[in-house]
Structure 1
């Protein structure tokens, strides 16, 4: 079906055009150029007629006119406007306050609706639900496989006995204990290495560590440090650090030797190896 043609407004002339322009300027009470008036009236008053009508109304004192660049700006004569009584002004002020209050409420309502819309848009789309379900099923399958050894066998006993709360607590305490020792030794070593480097005794840190038999933390140790076991940093011991550091400096200055943990800590080599075993078991 063909779209309907817009019906053009009938153009007016003479006194009718003058009355239409005057009423429009009074109702809007805003400054306009002649082209604006003609366009706003949807060309019911042609541009040429609008120029003459506006000039005539200005001569009669019903409009005021001021030049602005190359065009003339017309405004309804403000002295002809009705002056409101104090009661009417007070009523308008009250109406303005109520309108502002309603506007604020609408803004809050709009904000809540926008927030609700954002939360709903963040939900999975219907077309993506199938993929989400498949992912949940895959995760569930992995969990079931992990739980399988702990479930009852044909004889009614679990294939693997889970740790009790006491055993878990004991292992956690052991891990915490040996991790503290490791953190202390690492701090002492870094401080010692910094002193030797600043003093000029070590030119190449990598060569020095190779000569002393020192290896950096491997990927497993880094993974443990970033994992669930050590979310909260543990306190580092401060006792005998200075004395131990001086002993280490003296050892290194006497010549490169095989690195031994006893150089920087009063713990025995047996304790250190035991700590490594405990840590490996926990990890």
Structure 2
């Protein structure tokens, strides 16, 4: 065996040994049944173990009696050797159950507190800081000052009209608009009557007669 091959062989054995130790520790820690695929999926991301290496390591651990193997159909299940664990009495199990229940209650309470704190934090993050609030107050004061100045200018102006004068302007406007509509309708009727015996088009007639329409002047009758 060349020196290069010897180094690669030693390195491969070291990796396999480390992988076996890692898998053995994992199964003993979790103390529950796993398939080789489960162990590969749980350890591959963190430790970079290949699936083939995991399968070989678990088979070897089972052959060496360090873990137990059960076959269900075509699937092999591996789990820690229970003989290594200290037997626990019924009283100890009840005490553990009580402790688990107490810790679960504490976890629920802490989780609820965390949710409440998260809600308060979101509210605080969405609120204005003291500096932002002071800046906004100054901006609002400046706007109010501008509105006050504008109001004073309006109050001091000499071109105000009374409500009665304003009402008269609106009434006069309505009268003029109605008269505009009336005269436009009369003119339209007259032109239609003339065009019944006129040999040319309406456009030619209006041009010859020198009539300018609202459309020519780009105006429209306003609504009343």
**How high is the TM-score relative to the length of structure 2?**
0.43
**How high is the TM-score relative to the length of structure 1?**
0.36
Q: Which has the larger radius of gyration?
A: 2
Higher helix share: 2
